[in-house]
Amino acid sequence: MALDADATLGEAGEFGLISQLVAQLGEALTDDEHVLVGPGDDAAVLRVKHGHVVVSTDLMVEGRHFRRDWASAEDVGHRAAAQNLSDINAMGGTARHLTIGLAAPADLPVQWALDFARGFAQECASVGATVVGGDTTRADEIVIAVTVLGECTVSPVLRSGARPGDVLALTGRQGWAAGGLAVLGRGFRSPRVLVEAYRRPEPPYAAGKEAAEAGATSLIDVSDGLLAEAAHLAEASGVAIDVRRDAFDVPEPLVAVGAALGADPMQFILGGGDDHALLATFPDTASVPAGWQVVGEVRDGEGVTVDGSEYDGPTGWTHF
């Protein structure tokens, strides 16, 4: 039974909401040969044909990761899916199935949840992934928990494989979402292209598997900040990484925001996250696939430097 568009979660009830969410998210399941049992039982049952199963979980908390006055429910759905799909991409894999946990206040409009589900399903469909289950409960604020399962048909690329002499390369937009967040934080809505980049990231979904097949030695997605993610690679691999500022072309919208805010636009590129670009190391320049940009190198030692020196600007998002 369809719910009134103006109903709240409290009025709809748990099972009324779930029935509508399943209808919103489950359309693609009929064409997914990997799903033996979908939503409606105690757990989903999936068929694994070959390769490695890769799994990741992420949380989004209202007021911490998103604000309803900055992004629509559909935007939040796209963002929640993208950050999880990107984690599988960053292993050199392909996302296949997801589950969602949604905790929300009883007075949240049902329409918000349905719009969220629509955006989530659209983002999943862009890589051929489907939602196979989830859960809902009541909370004082919106909390979204997503688990994604994928497969790697080649050996997964870890953070720990970088070696001295490797080159550091990047693919995907970088710094755009951070610029958009800075704009929103000042109460503005332009440049619109940056605000939209924050609301709906565009991860390079095909690039993870491409990097793995090209022989990437380590791989990570840029969710918290480029230098912060480079530090994760350096620590896991026991190496030092140097990033070159002159390797980046600063796009005009970031230049404009930097001028308006009195900030170096490079801080958005070096310290920004949420675009979900990919950062990888490769044995040499010749092995770097087309569409990737060499932005640094791996050396003996430890830590991350910029142009050979310690960087004193923001390196990325911290959760605590």
Residue with tokens 């044909």: 49
Q: Which residue positions form the known binding site for substrate?
A: 65, 274, 317
Residue 11 has a pLDDT of 77
Give the whole-angstrom CA distance, residue 123 versus residue 82: 7
Residue 26 pLDDT exceeds 90: no
Q: What is the pLDDT of residue 28?
A: 60
Query: Which CATH class name applies to 9-152?
Result: alpha beta
Mean pLDDT of 107-113: 95
Give the side-chain half-sphere CA count within 13 A for 250.
18
Cα–Cα distance, 239 to 162 (Å, whole number) = 7
User: What confidence tens digit (pLDDT) does each residue in 46-63 have?
Assistant: 666 667 888 888 999 999
Positions at the binding site for ATP = 134-135, 159, 223
Task: Please report, for the chain, how many H helices and E strands are present, in that order.
Answer: 10, 12
Topology of the domain covering 167-306: Phosphoribosyl-aminoimidazole Synthetase; Chain A, domain 2 (3.90.650)
Inter-residue contact 17 to 136 (CB < 8 Å) = yes
Assign 20 a pLDDT band (cuts: 50, 70, 90).
confident
In sequence order, what are the residues at sequence separation of 6 or more whose Cβ sits closer than 8 angstroms to the Cβ of residue 108?
Answer: 8, 9, 142
pLDDT in tens, 224-260: 999 999 999 999 999 999 999 999 999 999 999 999 9
Question: Is a pLDDT exceeding 80 seen at residue 135?
Answer: yes
pLDDT of residue 23 exceeding 80: no
Taking alpha carbons only, the member of 154, 96, 145 closest to residue 125 is: 96
Other CB atoms within a 10 A radius of the CB of residue 69 amount to 7
How much is the average pLDDT of 88-101?
94
Beta bridge partners of 309: 306
What pLDDT score does 103 carry? 97
pLDDT digits (tens, 9 = 90+) for 252-309: 999 999 999 999 999 999 999 999 999 999 999 999 999 999 999 999 999 999 999 9
Provide the annotated binding site for Mg(2+).
42, 56-58, 87, 135, 221, 224
> Residue written as tokens 């140097």?
242
Which of 8-12, 96-100, 202-206, 308-312 shows the lowest mean pLDDT across its residues?
8-12
Q: Which residue has the higher pLDDT, 24 or 76?
A: 76
The neighbour count for residue 136, using CB atoms within 10 Å, is: 17
Q: Hey, how many other C-beta atoms are within 10 angstroms of the C-beta on 1?
A: 5
- Of residues 74 and 16, more confidently modeled: 74
List the single range of 29-38, 216-225, 306-315 with lowest mean pLDDT. Answer: 29-38
Write down the residue that tokens 């070959």 correspond to: 50
Kind and range of the H or E run holding 303: strand 303-306
Residue 135 neighbours by CB distance under 10 Å: 12
| Cβ atoms 54, 149 nearer than 8 A | yes
Which of 26-30, 143-147, 153-157 reaches the highest mean pLDDT? 143-147
pLDDT at 45 over 70: no
Where are the domains positioned within the chain? 9-152, 167-306
User: Residue range 114-125: average pLDDT?
Assistant: 96
Q: What are the C-alpha distances in Å from 175 to residues 17, 273, 294?
A: 37, 7, 16
- Counting Cβ atoms within 10 Å, is residue 299 exposed (0-12), middle (13-18) or buried (19+)? middle
Report the pLDDT value the prediction gives residue 55, as an integer from 0 to 100. 87
Retrieve residue 83's tokens: 């950050």
What average pLDDT does the segment 81-106 reach? Answer: 95
Strands of 105-172, DSSP E: 130-138, 143-152, 167-171
pLDDT reading at 21 higher than 70: no
Distance, CA of 130 to CA of 143 (rounded, Å): 21
Q: Roughly what angle, to the nearest 10 degrees, separates helices 252-261 and 176-185?
A: 30
* pLDDT at position 44 over 60: no
Amino acid making up residue 126: S
* 3-class state of residue 235 by DSSP: helix
Count of CB atoms situated within 10 Å of the CB of 115:
18
Q: For residue 72, list its beta bridge partners.
A: none
Please tell me the predicted confidence (pLDDT) of residue 252.
97
- Of the given ranges (39-43, 218-222, 265-269, 284-288), which has the lowest mean pLDDT? 39-43
Q: Residue 30 pLDDT > 70, yes or no?
A: no
Residues annotated as binding site?
42, 56-58, 65, 87, 134-135, 159, 221, 223-224, 274, 317
